Amino acid sequence: MINKYSVGKTSLLNQYVKNQFSLQYKATVGADFLTKQIQKGENIINLQLWDTAGSEKYHSITSGFYRNSETCVLVFDLTNSSSFENVEVWRKEFLENLNPPEGDKYPFVLLGNKNDLKDIKQVKDEDIQQYCSSHNNMPYFSVSAQTSENVDEAFIKVADLAFERNTQNDEMPLPEIKPIQVIKEPEKKKCC
């Protein structure tokens, strides 16, 4: 999960995995992860959810955690319009670091957190809809880490997209592997 700090990424993960919410704020340093097992039909999916720091000073560290991702969750704060404006920056950064084979069609899910604070909402629904439709109809969920509204539904969508992409990757033909030629150095003659 990536985006500007203080949008509630850690709180969302704690709500989804542990059913816990805390008003105490503690910035994520580097990255952290939580796991959750869910059942999808006959399959059990082990979700490994990475919580990357939003602070600029950790960008060089967190980009390494994007590798092998099956989907990406972008989070913004509905009460902070600048956090929504940064979503595209984070999406592009993710794609540049991961460089997925499907390019711009890589699966993202957008979460607008803090929907319980409707009185101070700054981001317009029309702007969110326009952004999502211009990016491959990116799934969007208005969520609240505090009340847990739509949190489970959002992560079920994340799991579905990750499962779908993982299944497609398993079916993709592997590139031809060419043998490595080892060239031995000639033995040096020993002298007395």
Residue 162 located in a structural domain: yes
Task: CATH number of the domain at 31, please.
Answer: 3.40.50.300
Q: How confident is the model at residue 171, as a pLDDT?
A: 46
Residue 2 located in a structural domain: no
User: Cα 77–83–84 angle (5° rounding)?
Assistant: 85
Residue 178 located in a structural domain: no
User: Phi then psi for 84, rounded to 5 degrees?
Assistant: -70, -40
* Strands 108-113 and 140-142, sheet pairing: parallel
Count structural domains, the chain: 1
> Rounded to whole angstroms, how far apart are CA atoms 165 and 161?
6
Instruction: Say what the pTM is.
Output: 0.78
Q: How confident is the model at residue 166, as a pLDDT?
A: 82
Domain hosting residue 152, numbered range: 9-171
Residue 3 located in a structural domain: no
Residue 124 located in a structural domain: yes
Q: How crowded is the C-beta side of 60, counted as CA atoms within 13 Å?
A: 1
User: Which parts of 22-152 are beta strand (E)?
Assistant: 31-40, 43-52, 72-77, 108-113, 140-142
Q: Going residue by residue through the chain (192 aa), what tens digit of pLDDT does each one get?
A: 444 457 888 899 999 999 987 665 555 444 567 889 988 888 888 888 887 655 454 344 445 667 788 999 999 999 999 999 999 998 998 899 889 999 999 999 999 999 999 999 999 999 999 999 999 999 999 999 999 999 999 999 999 999 898 877 654 444 444 455 555 566 666 665
Burial of 156: CB neighbours in 10 Å, binned 0-12, 13-18, 19+ = middle
